[in-house]
Amino acid sequence: MPIVSRYHFSTSVLTMNSSPLAATFRQGWQSESDLSARRFVLFHILMVLKTKYGFLDDRTSYIARRAELALYSRANSLVEYRNPRTLCMRLHALIIKLYAHQSMKISPQASLKRKASCDDENVIIKKVKATAAPFLLDGHDGVLRSVCSFLDTLSVVALMSTSHSALAIVPQHVTSIVIKANRRPTTTAWLVRFPNLQEFRLVGNNQFGFGQSMENVDMSSNDAASWALTTLEKATLNHLHTLELSHVYCDGLQDPFTDRIGALLEKSKSLVNLSLVGNCITDVGAINLASNATSRSELQLLLDNNFIGEQGAAALAKAASFVSLKNNLMESETYRRLFPNIAIQEMYKASASSSPFEIIA
């Protein structure tokens, strides 16, 4: 099992007492005849906990029963639910999402403090005293477009800051912006300056995937994701064709950030490439993305390193022309069953080497 502290495991799973997980069975396949399968899964969960902590007591047994109920209520099928080969991964995904849900629900002030700290120390752009001098490249649109295409985002910001004229002219010729999550602008209206933007990428370094320690989970980059979504919702970007938010957020049980991205997907008709790698997205978020991607025949989705199971994968397969789902909650046999089309399988295998999205360090 991935490295998880007993404190974080117990406090996260115990939040299910008041969470949507324990309410009703969602999928409709569950029945009284599943009792033997549930005992089988509960036994495996108990063995995982005993291996991890070295003992079992009443509290650990209670946690195991609550975890089993959550897995049972959210699974798409009996086969998916009782699969022992994916059990540890599903437990890890459950713990991470519960921890994120709890953090977002009870710690808004902590989030604000993190945001203030990030804004003060690591922002990509601050107020500068631009001069009134004329801009050297004013009137040379072709040259300016070429210059902006070769500059990274920090250099573009520096060029914009040289004069008042540059601040007004340069953004008109910027088509690509790449921002690291810990060096973002302070204002949510920042992107409005770039009406011809074609590519926007926000990249973090958070690792919420399998095998990661809960002690190293950092939810502070959720602030960067919130900033990006707010600024994208405010801006009118009719030319945006590529959007990437990678390794930057891990939200609550209902995937609220992914829900907002789905709304952006519906709004931005020019968007054809969407990369959401490493953001703890579950079936809930995947289904929402799929519902907003209907009739988008050219849409390509890169959703590697998330927590998507067979239900979310099936919905995405019907909605997009290309979907990459490496390192999610499916085995290769399940993927072949959901994606019998040979061409889709070949694209899936090739996606590791031919991805249209470049992740910068």
Residues 74 and 185 placed together within one structural domain of the fold: no
Q: What is the pLDDT of residue 289?
A: 93
**End-to-end Cα separation, the chain, in angstroms:** 28
200 φ/ψ angles, rounded to the nearest 5 degrees: -130, 125
Residues 133 and 73 placed together within one structural domain of the fold: no
Mean pLDDT value across the chain: 75
Which of 344, 338, 343, 276 is CA-nearest to residue 313?
338
Q: Which of 62, 90, 106 is the last residue of a domain?
A: 106
Q: What is the pLDDT of residue 225?
A: 92
Give me the percent of the chain exceeding a pLDDT of 70.
Answer: 65
Q: What is the pLDDT of residue 111?
A: 43
User: 209 pLDDT band (50/70/90 cuts)?
Assistant: low
Which of 189, 179, 192, 260 is CA-nearest to residue 221?
179
Distance of alpha carbon 22 from alpha carbon 48, whole angstroms: 22
Q: What is the CA radius of gyration of the chain?
A: 23
Q: At how many degrees (to 10) do helices 87-106 and 35-53 cross?
A: 80
Residues 98 and 127 placed together within one structural domain of the fold: no
Q: Which of 69, 88, 106 is the last residue of a domain?
A: 106
Residues 181 and 286 placed together within one structural domain of the fold: yes
Residues 146 and 245 placed together within one structural domain of the fold: yes
31 occurs within a structural domain: yes
Q: What is the pLDDT of residues 315-347, one digit of tens each?
A: 988 888 888 888 898 877 777 777 666 344 444
Lowest mean pLDDT among 153-157, 198-202, 266-270: 153-157
Distance of alpha carbon 1 from alpha carbon 52, whole angstroms: 7
Q: Which amino acid is at 63?
A: I
355 occurs within a structural domain: no
Q: What is the pLDDT of residues 162-177, one digit of tens each?
A: 666 666 777 777 888 8
Q: What is the pLDDT of residue 41?
A: 93
**Token pair listed for 289:** 């993305």
195 occurs within a structural domain: yes
What single DSSP character describes residue 215? Answer: G
Q: What is the pLDDT of residue 196?
A: 87
- The predicted model gives 44-54 an average pLDDT of 86
Residues 148 and 251 placed together within one structural domain of the fold: yes
Q: What is the pLDDT of residue 136?
A: 47
- The predicted model gives 292-311 an average pLDDT of 87
Lowest mean pLDDT among 117-126, 129-138, 144-153: 117-126
285 occurs within a structural domain: yes
Q: What is the pLDDT of residues 254-269, one digit of tens each?
A: 899 999 999 999 888 8
Residues 38 and 160 placed together within one structural domain of the fold: no
Q: What is the pLDDT of residue 319?
A: 85
Residues 79 and 153 placed together within one structural domain of the fold: no
Q: What is the pTM of this model?
A: 0.74
Q: Is the pLDDT of residue 359 over 80?
A: no
Give me the percent of the chain exceeding a pLDDT of 90.
Answer: 22
358 occurs within a structural domain: no
Residues 78 and 88 placed together within one structural domain of the fold: yes
359 occurs within a structural domain: no
- Which residues constitute the domain of residue 63? 6-106
Q: What is the pLDDT of residue 141?
A: 54
160 occurs within a structural domain: yes
Which of 354, 359, 349 is CA-nearest to residue 326?
349
- The predicted model gives 301-325 an average pLDDT of 89
Indicate the helix (H) or strand (E) that contains 91.
helix 87-106
DSSP reduced 3-state for 293: coil
Q: Is the pLDDT of residue 274 over 60?
A: yes
Distance of alpha carbon 27 from alpha carbon 311, whole angstroms: 10
Residue whose pair of structure tokens reads 């997907």 in the numeric block: 265
Q: Which of 39, 71, 106 is the last residue of a domain?
A: 106
User: What total of structural domains would you count in the chain?
Assistant: 2
Residues 142 and 39 placed together within one structural domain of the fold: no
Distance of alpha carbon 74 from alpha carbon 231, whole angstroms: 33
163 occurs within a structural domain: yes
Residues 69 and 140 placed together within one structural domain of the fold: no
Residues 278 and 339 placed together within one structural domain of the fold: yes
